[in-house]
A = this chain, B = another copy of it.
Amino acid sequence: MIVLKLGGSLITLKHKKFSFRRKVMERLAAEIGDYKGKLIIIHGGGSFGHPLAYEYGLNNGYEDERQIDGVVLTRLAMERLNDKVVSALLDSGIKAVSLQTSALAFCRGGEIERLNLEPVKRFLDIGITPVLYGDVVLDSAKGFCILSGDRIAVHLSRTLMADRAIMAIDKDGIFDRDPNITKGTKLLAEVNQHNYQEVLRSLGSVHGDVTGGITGKLRELWLLAEDGIESIIVNGLVPGRLQKALLGQEVKGTRIRVAP
């Protein structure tokens, strides 16, 4: 079984609220359709979830009543993005079904306290691909919090012992320095026990904020690698890469694993 995360920046235009990259998603769905094994898909919030979550300070947890508007609006926006993703998958012949993260996952202080795996496993059992997504979820310490698609993907990979995890993003993978601000950066084909600490340091030293996203992702994926589950980050904007990753073929990207 493969756990596939579709990044929010890949399937939406990050800086344009509620903008869905339909063409990109349709092509990704076609590539996914060529893989015939068991699959769980998780997608990010992109410009459907982030602007609202930010505007209402949802990740701070319950501070005042006004945020409740933010919770219900974020929930609705995420349902709508999810509808678009699931529809594109169905159109490509993938028997996909939405599974609402906020009905399954409960956090405490922003960390997953419990995620009900039963419907995920049982939909898989009858040949259906569950589609989850980053969302606002209930939090027993803070009232609510944002649970990212990355977190869900790593959690499901670990608890369901996925064969592999694939993170499709809008970049080629992890670079030795932040490619947005440093010229001559080099894509890392692999992060393993020999270079992990060094990579972390170099990412962190360049620009804490900008690389926060990728550094966080790397940390999580490294913990997953230590648990024996290999992952690969590929650029979903380049046609064919996701397909190759799914089929286990050689592909440009960054592999995160404990090297033999």
Contacts and interface: CB of A to CB of B under 8 A. Distances in A.
Contact of A62 (B102, B126, B138, B143): B126
A128 interface: yes
Contacts of A138: 118-119, 122-123, 126
Contacts of A116: 103, 116
Given A72-B128, A76-B90, A119 B97 contact: no
Interface centre among A95, A100, A106, A144 (most CB of B within 10 A): A100
Nearest to A102: B119
A83 B90 contact: no
B65 A127 contact: yes
A103 B128 contact: no
Contacts of A122: 106, 138
A207 interface: no
A71 B99 CA distance: 13
A154 interface: no
A175 to B, nearest CB: 38
A97 B83 contact: no
Interface string A47-90: 00000000000000010010011011101100110010011001
**Residues of A contacting B: mostly:** helix
A98 interface: yes
A96 interface: yes
B119 A144 contact: no
A87 B83 CA distance: 15
A187 interface: no
A83 B79 contact: yes
Interface string A113-145: 000101100110011100000000010000110
B95 A68 contact: yes
Given A76-B83, A102-B119, 4 more contacts: A69-B95, A76-B98, A106-B118, A126-B144
Interface of A: 62, 65, 68-69, 71-73, 75-76, 79-80, 83, 86-87, 90, 95-100, 102-104, 106, 116, 118-119, 122-123, 126-128, 138, 143-144
15 contacts: A62-B126, A68-B95, A71-B97, A72-B128, A73-B90, A75-B98, A79-B83, A83-B83, A98-B100, A100-B100, A100-B103, A106-B118, A106-B122, A123-B138, A126-B138
